[in-house]
Structures are given as structure tokens and as C-alpha cells.
Amino acid sequence: MEVKLVLTRTELNEYIKEYTGRSLSACMQCGLCTAVCPMSRFMDVHPAALIRLLQVSDVDISKLKAIWVCTSCMTCVDRCPRDVAPGMVIETLRLLALRRGIEPRSYSEMPIDINTPTLLLVSYSRKLTG
């Protein structure tokens, strides 16, 4: 069976509603999420732009780098004045990608040594391998 990676705007909005209980259409593009995001400078599409992209267009989730950069620090979720919670939206896209078999990196590439804390391995696995 072919895995569908390009999701239509309608599908994405429905998924996000189901996964987060929030609505993308509430976003007014104030940009606060991008301003407070400690990771935005490392993203290909910063949080506010990502919300806009999802509002207006179909998206190939395999091509988004930003969804693997977010650390779920929850700063944008707490501060979003319209309760869109971009961190939860990004987590939704991450889960949609992982559940379609896309993994950004393999374990064999990880620089693990005897001093690597267990917490680091556990949290990494949770976020980047589902």
C-alpha cells in the first residue's frame, strides 16, 4: 500500500482538530510563537509560518524539517493568545510522519558513549522515533 505523504489542507485541519482539540483558523499571525521559540532559528519553517502554511495549503509532511527540531518546551503553547498551541500542532505533524514510517535519523548515527545519560536516550527515542 502506498503511504500518503502529501496531505490536503482539509485533511491536515481535521487531523489537527482531532489530535489537539484546537483550531488552526483561530491563528491571527501575531508571530508570538516564533518570537519566543528557542528553536525557531534552526527551523526551515518557523512556527507562525507553519500555522499559516497549514491554513492555506496542502503539505508534504516528509519535507518539513521544523517538526523534528521542536523540543516541546511548551513556551508557545503557554503563551499563544489564541490558544492555537503551535507546539501541539507540530507534535501532531511529527506523529503523522512517524506513523507513516518517516524517521529523521537512525540509532546507529547517534554519538552515544558511556557517559550518555539514560534520560537523554529515552527522551530522544520518544521524540524522534515515536
Q: Which residues bind another protein (CB under 8 A)?
A: 18-21, 38-39, 41-42, 69, 71-75, 77-78, 87-88, 91-92, 95, 104-105, 109-112, 115-124, 126-128
**What phi and psi, each to the nearest 5 degrees, are found at residue 81?**
-75, -15
**82 vs 127, beta carbon nearer another protein:** 127
CB 61 within 8 Å of CB 67: yes
**2 vs 117, beta carbon nearer another protein:** 117
The count of residues in the chain is 130
**29 vs 125, beta carbon nearer another protein:** 125
Compute the least distance from the CB of residue 56 to another protein, in Å.
22
Compute the least distance from the CB of residue 44 to another protein, in Å.
13
Q: Tell me the three cell numbers of residue 51.
A: 500555522
Dihedral (Cα; 55, 58, 63, 67), 10-degree rounding: 30
Element (H, E) at 59: strand 59-60
**57 vs 123, beta carbon nearer another protein:** 123
DSSP state of 112: -
Compute the least distance from the CB of residue 88 to another protein, in Å.
6
Residue labelled with grid coordinates 499559516: 52
Compute the least distance from the CB of residue 95 to another protein, in Å.
6
Compute the least distance from the CB of residue 101 to another protein, in Å.
17
**39 vs 53, beta carbon nearer another protein:** 39
CB 3 within 8 Å of CB 101: yes
